Amino acid sequence: GFWATDRMTIQEANIKGYFTRYPFLLGCIRNSSGDKSGASGIMGLDRSPVSIITKTKISYFSYCLPSPYGSRGYITFGKRNTVKTKFIKYTPIITTPEQSEYYDITLTGISVGGKKLPFSTSYFTKLSTEIDSGAVITRLPSPMYAALRSAFRKRMKKYKRAKGAGDILDTCYDLRAYETVVVPKITIHFLGGVDLELDVRGTLVVASVSQVCLGFAVYPSDTNSFLLGNVQQRGHEVHYDVAGRRLGFGPTLRSRM
């Protein structure tokens, strides 16, 4: 790959104006592995020196990620005047850009069907937690994933199991014969009393017609880390108050209307 410079222009919403940055540094690659589904590139939203957030000195942004079934997502740079803060619950970003280029937050628990997984407070104080819009599946350390999987399987035991999908999705079901399916609600708890309640979009991944899988996976190595991927962010507005060092979750624009 190589570096290039260009002029970046962002049109302001509902305003006859625009934001221009020149020179703007771009990373260019010759080959890319993995399925990017026709995407033109990857937008860096972290706190690294070359990300669009750092380069443009954006202090606040938010996004809503679409589901893979035809809905639309959106990203907003800057804080909209229409944002009602009462709908958004914030948890602290516990590191500075000098300490970490990622947005590190504090996990305090996970519940399945309203019941918290049996881990002590001290367990979470030793856990590294970050959010990543570019990672697809949420990754958990092995003990936590085993507890989550066990609790989920227990509440889904009346449904027909299917073989795993790929290398990471090991809890799958064949739901073709059922008219209705009751999926246990998974809630992810963060510092400050912030609860991220997942609906079906944030819980299950459709691998094939006969494979609907729990959308979580274990870290491949013995890592004491929790990575919140974009599947679990679907159906929510995620707010990054970069200047205020806090991260918020709230309902989407449509659900607030």
The confidence band for 123, taking pLDDT boundaries of 50, 70 and 90, is very high
Which amino acid appears at position 128 of this protein? S
Quick one: average pLDDT of 32-52?
A: 74
Query: Which two tokens mark 256?
Result: 């607030």
pTM: 0.87
Query: C-alpha dihedral over 154, 115, 197, 70, to 10 degrees?
Result: 10
Q: Is the pLDDT of residue 175 over 80?
A: yes
The DSSP element (H or E) to which 114 belongs, if any, is none
Quick one: average pLDDT of 116-145?
A: 94
45-49, 88-92, 213-217, 228-232: segment of lowest average pLDDT: 45-49
> Edge-to-edge, what's the strand order for the sheet holding 216-218?
103-105, 128-131, 225-228, 138-140, 216-218
Question: Tens of pLDDT along 63-85?
Answer: 999 877 667 888 888 887 655 66
The confidence band for 257, taking pLDDT boundaries of 50, 70 and 90, is very low
**The pLDDT value given to residue 158:** 97
Which residue would you say has higher pLDDT here, 12 or 198? 198
**The pLDDT value given to residue 180:** 95
The DSSP element (H or E) to which 257 belongs, if any, is none
Q: Is the pLDDT of residue 159 over 50?
A: yes
Report the alpha-carbon distance of residue 46 to residue 27 in Å, rounded: 15
The confidence band for 151, taking pLDDT boundaries of 50, 70 and 90, is very high
Domain ranges of the chain: 2-256
Query: C-alpha dihedral over 236, 242, 247, 252, to 10 degrees?
Result: -20
CATH of 2-256, one of 3.40.50.720, 3.40.50.300, 3.10.180.10, 2.40.70.10: 2.40.70.10
Report the alpha-carbon distance of residue 31 to residue 33 in Å, rounded: 7
Percent of the chain with pLDDT over 70: 83
Quick one: average pLDDT of 153-176?
A: 95
Q: Is the pLDDT of residue 231 over 90?
A: yes
The confidence band for 56, taking pLDDT boundaries of 50, 70 and 90, is confident
**The pLDDT value given to residue 7:** 72
Reference 224, options 120, 103, 125; nearest CA is 125
Task: Compute the C-alpha angle 78/98/189, nearest 5°.
Answer: 65
Report the alpha-carbon distance of residue 118 to residue 55 in Å, rounded: 43
